[in-house]
Amino acid sequence: MFDSLPVLPPDSILGLAAACRADPNPDKVDLTVGVYMDETGLCPVFEAVQQAQQALVSEEQTKVYMPPQGDPDYLTGVRSLIFGEAGMAALGDRTSAVQTPGGCGAVRLGAEVLHAAAPGATVWVSDPTWPVHIPLMGSVGLQFKTYRYYSPEMKGLDFEAMLADLEAAQAGDVVLLHGCCHNPSGVDPTLEQWGVLAELMSERQLLPMIDFAYQGMGAGLDEDAAGIRAVLERVPEMIIAVSSSKNIGLYRERAGAVVFVGGDARAAEAMASQAVSAARRVYSMPPAHGALLAGRVLSSPALRSAWEAELGQICQRINDLRGQLRDALTTATERDFGFIGTEHGMFSFLGLSVEQAQRLREEQSVYMLDSSRINIAGLNANNLGRVVEAVASVL
């Protein structure tokens, strides 16, 4: 049966990371995959997570299945982060949530619920968006249209073009937005622009679906949720895909949640029930370990404040690196790299051509995507100078 089955190439981003791992150059720099790395190049385990893990290991009495909806502490915790305590109280029972294997699982189950409610729905995605959105949601059967978003000429958000494209959306269409730290550009709408988008989605009866994979890594936990909260003031329904991979550092544990806001309690319950049913068709119950750790961190006041402090330091380090890279590139090239300092989160397009990005990999062992998207958190005091010199040499 499988004799002529084609062997598929690796995912393009993961393939580049593998090429970097195989590169024997001791001075190679990996700026490909969106993983936070500290000054030593390590993707660390949060101290608060380590403490939660020690307690979990010593107290855990069973490995019986999780409830299909997931760990209640985790689901309450992620919603408190998105909506804030006041927002949670205001929403009351109009919100529900289902734990998923990472943010990918959340995007997928969100798409399943959209498809169950409106099988012909069109999803508007930013140009560019995180490439995995397309297979994750498209394989459910949803159609896509793109709205202009990042402008290479402006080195920022072309908001006029974004609005002009979304003006063509029909009632019932879905707008996929990145809640913060847009992947791949690092460019987010301002709070004022979020308000305009909310108004447009409300007037045109468009449904916001928010991919929220980087809360707390852009400007702060509340600051990064401000766009979502502004939309919720005007729009009655929403789907939010949460990942705990980055901001709680649980990448390999596969912890995430799809969060629903319905017009009333019945709608919120229906959305969650559809997500649980979709999970049952594919993998049944969610994985336990990561969500139990995150549930403990988010529900214990001491662990939560320790985690918030640690996340705040990570956010600060990313923003410091942005400033250092901006200044060093501007000095080395006499070009304007000011945009790096105004973006959010781990990503930025350096504005190189595909050929320049390839030369950097082949000739200098500096690995970035062909689009010249870099992971800012892959920089550190040891490699920043080398990266800047390499980029200047191909410009």
Helices 265-282 and 102-117: angle between axes, nearest 10 degrees: 120
Instruction: Using alpha carbons, select from 298, 231, 314 the residue that is nearest to residue 81.
Output: 298
- For residues 146 and 124, the answer to whether their CB atoms sit within 8 Å is yes
- Could you say which of 70, 102, 208, 249 contacts ligand PLP (CB under 6 A)? 102
Q: Rule CB under 6 A: is residue 70 a binding residue for ligand PLP?
A: no
CA angle centred on 251, ends 247 and 254, rounded to 5°? 110
Q: Which stretch binds ligand PLP (CB under 6 A): 101-109, 117-125, 167-175, 283-291?
A: 101-109
CB of 204 to ligand PLP, least distance (A): 24
Specify the residue, 87 or 110, whose C-beta has the smaller distance to ligand PLP: 110
Binding part of the chain for ligand PLP, among 39-47, 100-108, 139-147, 264-272 by CB under 6 A, reads 100-108
Q: Which of residues 32-51 bind ligand PLP (CB under 6 A)?
A: 34
C-beta of 87 vs 101, nearer to ligand PLP? 101
Q: Is 243 in the site for ligand PLP (CB under 6 A)?
A: yes
Q: Enter the tokens of residue 162.
A: 């974004």
Q: How far apart are the first and last CA of the chain?
A: 50
- Find the binder of ligand PLP among 112, 173, 211, 224 (CB under 6 A): 211
Min separation Cβ 26 and ligand PLP, Å: 28
Q: Binding residues for ligand PLP, how many (CB under 6 A)? A: 13
130 is catalytic: yes
Per-residue binding letters, 153-192, with ligand PLP (x by CB under 6 A): -------------------------x----x---------
Instruction: Report residue 78 as tokens.
Output: 């992620």
Q: What is the closest distance, in whole angstroms, from the C-beta atom of residue 184 to ligand PLP in the complex?
A: 8
Tell me whether residue 12 is exposed, middle or buried, using C-beta atoms within 10 angstroms of its C-beta: 0 to 12, 13 to 18, 19 or more: exposed
Q: Confirm or reject binding of residue 371 to ligand PLP (CB under 6 A).
A: no
Give the DSSP letter string of 36-71: ---TTS--PPPHHHHHHHHHHHHH----PPPPTT--
DSSP per-residue letters across 228-267:
HHHHHTT-S-EEEEEE-TTTS--GGG--EEEEEE-SSHHH
Choose, by CB under 6 A, the member of 213, 228, 235, 258 that binds ligand PLP.
213
Q: In this complex, which beta carbon is closest to ligand PLP, that of residue 94 or of residue 150?
A: 150
Interacting stretch for ligand PLP, rule CB under 6 A, among 99-107, 150-158, 196-204, 380-388?
A: 99-107
For residues 227 and 99, what is the distance between their CA atoms, to the nearest angstrom?
23
List 74, 124, 130, 194, residue binding ligand PLP (CB under 6 A): 130
**For residues 380 and 43, what is the distance between their CA atoms, to the nearest angstrom?**
13
- Residue partners of 189: CB distance under 8 A and separation at least 6: 157, 159, 197, 227
Catalytic residue among 124, 130, 194, 307: 130
- 82 within 8 A of 259, measured Cβ to Cβ: yes
The Cβ of residue 307 has, within 10 Å, a number of other Cβ atoms equal to 24
- Minimum CB distance to ligand PLP, residue 50 (Å): 20
Let me know if 194 is a catalytic residue. no
| Contact status: 149 vs ligand PLP (CB under 6 A) | no
Among 245, 247, 274, 371, binds ligand PLP (CB under 6 A): 245
Report yes or no: 230 and 238 within 8 Å, Cβ to Cβ. Answer: no
Active site residue 211: yes
Nearest to 218, CA basis, from 249, 178, 252? 178
Please state, in angstroms and rounded to a whole number, the distance separating the CA atoms of residues 38 and 181.
18
Which one, 30 or 211, has the nearer CB to ligand PLP? 211
Residues of this chain that bind ligand PLP (CB under 6 A): 34, 102-104, 130, 178, 183, 211, 213, 243, 245, 251, 256
Which residues are known catalytic residues? 130, 211, 246
